[in-house]
Amino acid sequence: MRIGIVSPYSFDVPGGVQNHVLDLAEALIGLGHSVSVLAPADDDARLPPYVVPAGRAMQIPYNGSVARIAFGPISSARVRRWLARGEFDVLHVHEPLTLSLSMLAVLSSDGPVVATFHTAMPRSRLLDTFESFRRITLERITSRIAVSALARKVQVEHLDGGAVEIPNGVSVARFASAEPLPGWPGEGGAIGFLGRFTEARKGFPVLRDAFVALAGVRPGLRLLVAGPGDPDDVMEGVPPALRERVVFIGKVSEEDKARMLRSVDVYVAPNTGGESFGMILTEAMAAGTTVVASDIDAFRRVLDGGRAGRLVPVGDAKALARALGALLDDPAGRAALSACGREAVARYDWPVVAREVLEVYATAIEATDGRVVDVEWAPPRTG
């Protein structure tokens, strides 16, 4: 199958959508398909061979933050050229409701179009002003995919349409084979956390309190923290005597993330809510690390109701400390949980997820009888 994939965001800024697009493209290529990915990038940017640059992304203030997107006549011309040359059997765009290459591609094509919605809130204020613009974009999409139950709910309730739920994939082999960081996990045990620890909903203080309680009675226990932020914020509330046992490695690359997850005995996700999927849990399970997570809907689903990882009450540092203490003393129990975790994560392995996506492609192709062609499009007038 000839597949054209469009990424709305540039690959020089790492992000969930970008990783998803690259991993999906590689999984599809691995299954023997021909894939071309269009993304905002300079012509001389270093990119994987299957990525076609669509020109530099502009930085524009957008929904309260800065977005790097490509949108305009030059981008539009590049999109049409890519569509005309690609002769794709199916076009797969990501986040088409942002002003981006994805939207341009949807508007410039006719034929089977599959769209993946990543965030739970894909609406932009700008688009809300141009309701008809949004409707015309959605109208050209044959089949919608949502990466989580929450993203699907938004589709049903706010964009009046159904969507197939296909979860984010994880490259199990890459995580399973990563080398632990030198000297980790060590004799006294190691606990890990990755994420924006300053964000309240990530629940880092709960883990910190639990660690402080445990470290007092367990002399060798260490905490490995990764994520963007200031080291002082990590150490806040940690007694000076324990500070050398809290190791902060800052923001990590994809490769170091896998190594970091392999470096700890237990990975903790103390989130207090607001998670739609729990990608990091699938990654920790793929790395073969035992997972302890807050008992919230998304995590319960990923951890198979607690079979593939221990669930603890939300925001309860004492309960978390008890669960961690019990697991640190029980290597056999940890091994059993991580074995279940590996089994549960097989369902999220990229080749498995990519086959589900291929079924959606096949359905979209059958339902439109025809391949993707580029078309002239006139911007709609309101009225």
Partner 1 sequence: MVGVVALVVLLATYLTWTATRVDRLHARAASAARSLDAHLLRRAAAAAVLAEERLVTELYSAARIALDAGADEREAAENDLTRQLRAVPLPAAEPAADAVVAASRRLALARQVHTDVVRDTLSARGRPLVRMLRLGRRHEQPAYFEIDDPTLAVTATPVPTPAQD
The residues of the shown chain that bind partner 1, judged by CB under 8 A, are 110, 135-136, 138-139, 141-144, 160-164, 359-360, 362-364, 366-369, 378, 380-381
Residue at token pair 């050209």: 140
Q: How far is the CB of 217 from partner 1 (least distance, A)?
A: 41
Q: Residue 34's CB: how many other CB atoms inside 10 A?
A: 15
Q: How far is the CB of 279 from partner 1 (least distance, A)?
A: 24
- Nearer Cβ to partner 1 (141/223): 141
CA of 34: how far to CAs of 342, 362, 372, in Å? 30, 15, 15
Tell me the β-bridge partners of 243: none
Q: How far is the CB of 140 from partner 1 (least distance, A)?
A: 9
Amino acid at 148: S
Q: How far is the CB of 109 from partner 1 (least distance, A)?
A: 12
Distance CA 71, CA 9 (A): 11
Cβ partners under 8 Å of residue 203, min gap 6: 269, 270, 271, 272, 294, 314, 315
Amino acid at 118: H
- The pairing of beta strand 373-374 with beta strand 109-110: antiparallel
Q: How far is the CB of 366 from partner 1 (least distance, A)?
A: 4
In DSSP notation, 207-241 reads HHHHHHHHHHH-TT-EEEEESSS-HHHHHTT--GG
Quick one: which of 293, 324, 331 has its CA closest to 217?
Answer: 324
- Nearer Cβ to partner 1 (156/339): 156
- Nearer Cβ to partner 1 (135/251): 135
Q: How far is the CB of 324 from partner 1 (least distance, A)?
A: 31
What phi and psi, each to the nearest 5 degrees, are found at residue 56?
Answer: -65, 145
Quick one: which of 64, 65, 74, 129 has its CA closest to 101?
Answer: 74
Tokens (6 digits) for 179 = 């080398």
The helix/strand/coil state of 158 is helix
Tell me the β-bridge partners of 35: 3
Distance CA 245, CA 268 (A): 16
Distance CA 174, CA 258 (A): 7
- Nearer Cβ to partner 1 (169/229): 169
Distance CA 81, CA 87 (A): 11
- Nearer Cβ to partner 1 (164/212): 164
Q: How far is the CB of 161 from partner 1 (least distance, A)?
A: 5
- Nearer Cβ to partner 1 (117/204): 117
Q: How far is the CB of 369 from partner 1 (least distance, A)?
A: 5
- Nearer Cβ to partner 1 (45/373): 373
- Nearer Cβ to partner 1 (233/359): 359
